[in-house]
Amino acid sequence: MGFHRRLAPSGFDRGATSAAVCVLSAAAAALGAVPALAAPQDDTRAKVDRLYEQAEQATEAFNKADERADSLRKQVSTAQDEIARQQERINTMRDALGSLAGAQYRSGGMDPSLALLFSDDPDDYLDKAAALDRIGAHQAGELKDLQMAMRDLAQRREEATGKLAELEKSRKAVARHKKTVEQKLTKARQLLNSLPLAERAAYDRASRSGRDIPDLGDAAPASGRAAAAVAAARSAIGRPYVWGASGPTGFDCSGLMQWSYAQAGVGLPRTSQAQRYAGRQVPLSQARPGDLVAYRSDASHIGMYVGNGQVIHAPYPGAPVRYDPVGMMPVSSVTRV
């Protein structure tokens, strides 16, 4: 998402070393050499660069918190269903115990010695007594099962209460990160609007570059699923950057990777930080189409390698999904899914 102003050799030129080629560099090139008098504009561009990078970091934090909230909502729903089923089971057990108690009262209310004394048929009495013993043993077992079920219900309710509290915290985290993203993006837009018209026009041209298909070479994807993911990512060229979105009409950086691999039948985690561990790490010099390229030490940006030193990624607000050199900013890892 962030732009980077200084150009350094790409990983394909110098092995594991990667550096930043940014939209700001493209804008500067479009304008030609910037004279010394333009230093205030340089400072503004540097501030915009930092704000976009911070906004992207906050976006990935938002994605992580939102993913956690979704998971917790499912867990709470499951827990509530289990509690309802357990309560129903307890009610059934109580009804059964009530029936047993009534039968025992009706059949065994008389003292056993008196019942034997007045019985016309001692054998019949002994058969009834044995049946009552069985009812008593069964009732004791049912009571024990009921006690265990009630303890389990109490534990489930306690766990559900904890999940609800955690869900509320996660909701607040989502709102907090969303606010941070919006603040950073608003500030970046304000700074860009403060630039002279020619400078803003250069940014506009740069943010719409990279749509033409570059020479991607003839490197083959590492697998059929990688080939399908590359095809999906290429179909998204030109679609807008929308923070927190995972397609199909708009994407943030990790949302584009998740959506592209979903079209290949592969489930990826939601955040760029998690996606970098979604497969096997390979050197940048061995990257093949479909590999995920994570940027910056915190992996706050991610793109997909598509061949011949090019990636497809969702850069930042205002810049659509596009091709860029793999060395557009410092590469932290390459992952083969």
The residues annotated as belonging to the active site are 253, 301, 313
Pairing relationship of beta strands 310-313 and 331-336 according to DSSP bridges: unpaired
Structural contact between residues 271 and 197, judged by C-beta atoms closer than 8 angstroms? no
For residue 163, count other CB atoms closer than 10 A to its CB. Answer: 20
Read off the tokens for 71. 């998971």
Encode the chain in three state secondary structure: CCCCCCCCCCCCCCCCCCCCCCHHHHHHHHHCCCCHHHHHHHHHHHHHHHHHHHHHHHHHHHHHHHHHHHHHHHHHHHHHHHHHHHHHHHHHHHHHHHHHHHHHHHHHCCCHHHHHHHCCCHHHHHHHHHHHHHHHHHHHHHHHHHHHHHHHHHHHHHHHHHHHHHHHHHHHHHHHHHHHHHHHHHHHHHHHHCCCHHHHHHHHHHHCCCCCCCCCCCCCCCCHHHHHHHHHHHHCCCCCECCCCECCCCECHHHHHHHHHHCCCCCCCCCHHHHCCCCEECCHHHCCCCCEEEECCCCCEEEEEEECCEEEECCECCECCEEEEHHHCCEEEEEEC
Kindly tell me the burial class for residue 254, based on how many C-beta atoms sit within 10 Å of its own C-beta (0-12, 13-18, 19 or more): buried
Phi, psi of 306 (to 5 degrees): -125, 5
